Amino acid sequence: SITDFNISIPEGFILNETGNFNVVISRVGYEDISYGIKVVNEKVMILEEKPLKLEYFLGETIDLNGLKLIDSLTKEEINDYGVYIGDNLISDGTILNFGTGNLIISIKKSGYFDNITFTINVKPNGVVIKNLPNKTTYIIGETFNSDGLIITDGVNVLNEYELSIEEGHIFTHAGKIEIYVTSDGLKKNSFEITVLNQKGMMIKNKPQIYFEIGDKFNSDGLYLVDNNTMDEITNYTLSINEGEVLNSIGTYNVSIKSDGYPDLSYEIEVNKKLNNGDFREFNIYTINDTHGSFLRNSDNYEAGIAYIGDYLIDRKNEDSLILSAGDMWQGGLESNDTKGVIMSEAMNLIGFDAMTIGNHEFDWDIEAIKENLKVMEFPLLGNNIFYKNTNENVEFTLPYTVINKSNLKVGIIGSIMEGIGSSILASISNKFDFVNPIPYVKEQSDYLRNELGCNIVIFLSHDGGFEGYNGVPSKYYELTTISDISNKKYVDAMVFAHDHLRKEGIYNDVPFIEAGENGEYIGNIEFNVIRKNFEEYEIDIDTIETNVINAFNNCKTENEEIANLVNKYSDVITDSNDVIYTFENDYSESEFTVIVCQALLWFMNEYKYDFGNHDIYIGIHNTAGIRGNVYKGDFTYGDLIKVCPFSNAIALLTLTPNQVNFYRGNNALRYFINNDVSIDENGFYYGATISYVAEWTDRNGNLYCTNYELFPNYIISDVLIEYLKSGTNNNL
């Protein structure tokens, strides 16, 4: 250190002229050095303390807390100054949309020299879609073209990014397709395109397919629509005339012609006539609660819908029905990624006769139900769903359907469990009333038997049927009694679902069945029907048999057309074998639920600017929302959807201490606490959870937490993926 030097302006010299001055420092034996000073008329501010927060993401609001300026002479704190980024005056809460990188913040105040600056670092937040592609509507067979698409990080145009669909991809299916845009270090974004069918007709409701020799042909019930608009087509001709006598046994093609549309056709089957006193062996095949289990899974003994389909197709004839009791879509990777459509198409190929709606058909809201209805070639039933506080049935389900099997008329009445809204997101279920179906089933049974001439009536219910879920379906005893109007039992068979149990039996001479879950089983009710006369049949109750068939063991061959649906929808289905993470330990269902809670808490803290800039104290998830154990080794996308099958949005809870204690003490939940976070100045904690938990209500329909916010753009499975890939917890 050199201390004995000379300076050209001595210490204490009064600076009484404005301007720039050079201060020279000299010492014998050394070369002179200098530095400049500036003398101004204004006072000078000193940056005593910078703001506490200097790191931001684009779109976050600036926080000037901690910034302190003092007068250079008086040493008193200075207030009422202007803060600028370039020429833009900013203040606490200003959204940072001025660019990314190191931004210079300058401080200005009248009467003071403008000498204070500091920098903040603004990182890109996520991919921003500035312009959509020029073409966003396609027809099946056309190729994807992204011309016109402009992607930015919020400020700068990005030239390096990836799309989930490759340029030139040939579209093979209709529907709305979400295309994801990703770029390194940025949150992904997406845009939607629409793919239309090539113009054509679609049979939405099949007419009579099975006839007896000597019958007159009819197309009663045929409902034709435009395959894109779903508008009804009424002006058409058939290749077989109405009333034409069917004189030969065999299979015949009925072609449909309508101006402006390619021809369409369906097959009818003419069989031998049954004489009075003869009997037919009739079979009802059922599945329920498959929860999107599309592929065969030997680890879980799930048969796979292509294998179940092959089994059922072999048994579909004039003496069989194929029914679903609901919860078909939500839960498997292939079905989740298509929002159920791949399952609906598979059911078309199998030839399902009807499906009743389940609670999980509501998981993606009504829009997804309507998208599936565009594909379904069989009716979706539900006779006891009304718009809230009205007598108006919803338009997306029918109360019943009638199927004519060679003059054996079968009525199928569909319903869902009374009060099942508590098993559906409240923001969806609160639009509807799910009422007691029994009065409606009785009324509709009488109508089907007396007015429509149905010989058999089947009750197809998304409900376990048992009071207490054991014993016999006494809950529906009334339906097994004799109607005063028809003088017959209200129903001849009952098909159940929802509680995932295997059930079979005969209750008050009425057979009932339920076939477990996830495509592990097929339900079968078999009985003889005796022909009394041309229009009347009678069930021989002594021949009734019920059986729950092990689908994995009995469905040995795969239907290739159903299996190939995975290729058809490959542009929207994630590769189930892609590895997300490699676990070092095994985790039980309960333990993994806690990991999901950790992921929720981490995600909302990591991206807190998207969630009100709160410090999150607790992550919460329900145990029923995690459906399996996780084992040491590679954890794939297919594994993820099996254990975390429901597409719940995430939610921010604002909680009192008592509410925190409620969630922590609830046995149906798991949680994870961030002990570094304390209660805020208003007496609240903040929690991260999923929409289903956020909308929990008590038995009176009152929310446990009224102060919550849903974030539908963030799905729990995506949150878990990001948490695992972040490497935040490397000891899992």
Q: In this predicted structure, which of 108-122, 369-383, 446-460, 505-519 has the lowest mean pLDDT? A: 108-122
Domain ranges of the chain: 6-39, 44-123, 128-196, 281-568, 579-726
243-296 tens-digit pLDDT: 999 999 999 999 999 999 999 999 999 999 999 999 999 999 999 999 999 999
What is the per-residue pLDDT for 728? 81
d(CA 641, CA 188): 20
Structure tokens at 198: 């090539």
How far apart are the two ends of the chain, measured CA to CA in Å? 55
What mean pLDDT, rounded, does the chain reach? 94
CA distance 219 to 198: 25
**Separate counts of helices (H) and strands (E) for the chain:** 14, 45
Is the predicted pLDDT of residue 10 greater than 60, yes or no?
yes
Q: How far is CA 505 from the centre of its chain?
A: 35
Torsion of CA 523, 527, 531, 534, to 10 degrees: -10
Q: Is the pLDDT of residue 470 over 70?
A: no
Question: Could you tell me the pLDDT band of residue 698, with boundaries at 50, 70 and 90?
Answer: confident
CATH superfamily of 579-726: 5'-Nucleotidase, C-terminal domain (3.90.780.10)
> Do residues 319 and 533 touch, judged by C-beta distance below 8 A?
no
What pLDDT, in 10s, does the model give residues 155-212? 889 999 999 999 999 999 999 999 999 998 788 899 999 999 999 999 999 999 999 9
Using CA atoms of 466, 469, 470, 476 in order, give the dihedral in degrees to the nearest 10. 0
Q: Are 330 and 645 in contact (CB under 8 A)?
A: yes
Select the more confidently predicted residue: 116 or 555: 555
C-alpha span between 224 and 243 (Å, rounded): 20
CA 180 to chain centre: 16
Residue at token pair 């999980």: 360
pLDDT, residue 469, reads 56
For the stretch 35-57, pLDDT in tens is: 998 887 778 899 999 999 998 88
Q: Are 39 and 21 in contact (CB under 8 A)?
A: yes
Share of the chain above pLDDT 90, in %: 83
Model pLDDT, residue 82: 94
The amino acid that residue 417 corresponds to is M
Percent of the chain surpassing pLDDT 70: 99
Indicate whether 729 pLDDT > 80.
no
Tens of pLDDT, residue by residue over 582-626, are 999 999 999 999 999 999 999 999 888 788 889 999 999 999 999
Task: Kindly report the length of the chain.
Answer: 732
- Long-range pairs for 677-681: beta carbons < 8 A, 24 or more residues apart: 677/615, 677/616, 677/617, 678/617, 679/617, 680/614, 680/615
Q: Which CATH number fits domain 281-568: 3.60.21.10, 1.10.3720.10, 3.30.200.20, 2.102.10.10?
A: 3.60.21.10
Query: What is the rounded average pLDDT of the residues 568-578?
Result: 93
Q: Do 44-123 and 128-196 come out as alike in CATH topology?
A: yes
Q: Say whether domain 128-196 belongs to CATH 2.60.40.3630.
A: yes
Helix (H), strand (E) at residue 727 = none
pLDDT band at residue 730 using 50, 70 and 90 as cut-offs: low
pLDDT tens per residue, range 478-490: 999 999 999 999 9
What pLDDT does 459 receive? 99
For the whole model, what pTM was predicted? 0.85
Instruction: Give the mean model confidence (pLDDT) for residues 654-660.
Output: 96
Q: Residue 15's pLDDT is what?
A: 86
Indicate whether 220 pLDDT > 60: yes
d(CA 703, CA 730): 37
Yes or no: say if 478 and 444 are a contact pair by the CB < 8 Å rule: no
Higher pLDDT, 521 or 300: 521
One-letter identity of residue 403: I
Report residue 124's pLDDT band, with 50, 70 and 90 as the boundaries.
Answer: confident
Strands 55-57 and 116-123: what pairing? parallel
For 74-88, write each residue's pLDDT tens digit: 899 999 999 999 999
DSSP secondary structure, 419-476, as one string: TGGGGS-HHHHTTEEE---HHHHHHHHHHHHHTS--SEEEEEEES--STTSSSS-GGG
Average pLDDT over residues 528-549: 93
pLDDT in tens, 325-345: 999 999 999 999 999 999 999
Confidence of residue 60 (pLDDT cuts 50, 70, 90): confident
pLDDT value for 465: 86
Q: Classify domain 44-123 by CATH number.
A: 2.60.40.3630
Q: Which of 1-15, 300-314, 439-453, 644-658 has the lowest mean pLDDT?
A: 1-15
pLDDT digits (tens, 9 = 90+) for 354-399: 999 999 999 999 999 999 999 999 999 999 999 999 999 999 999 9
Cα radius of gyration (the chain): 35
Residues 391-423 have pLDDT tens digits of 999 999 999 999 999 999 999 999 999 999 989
pLDDT at 56: 87
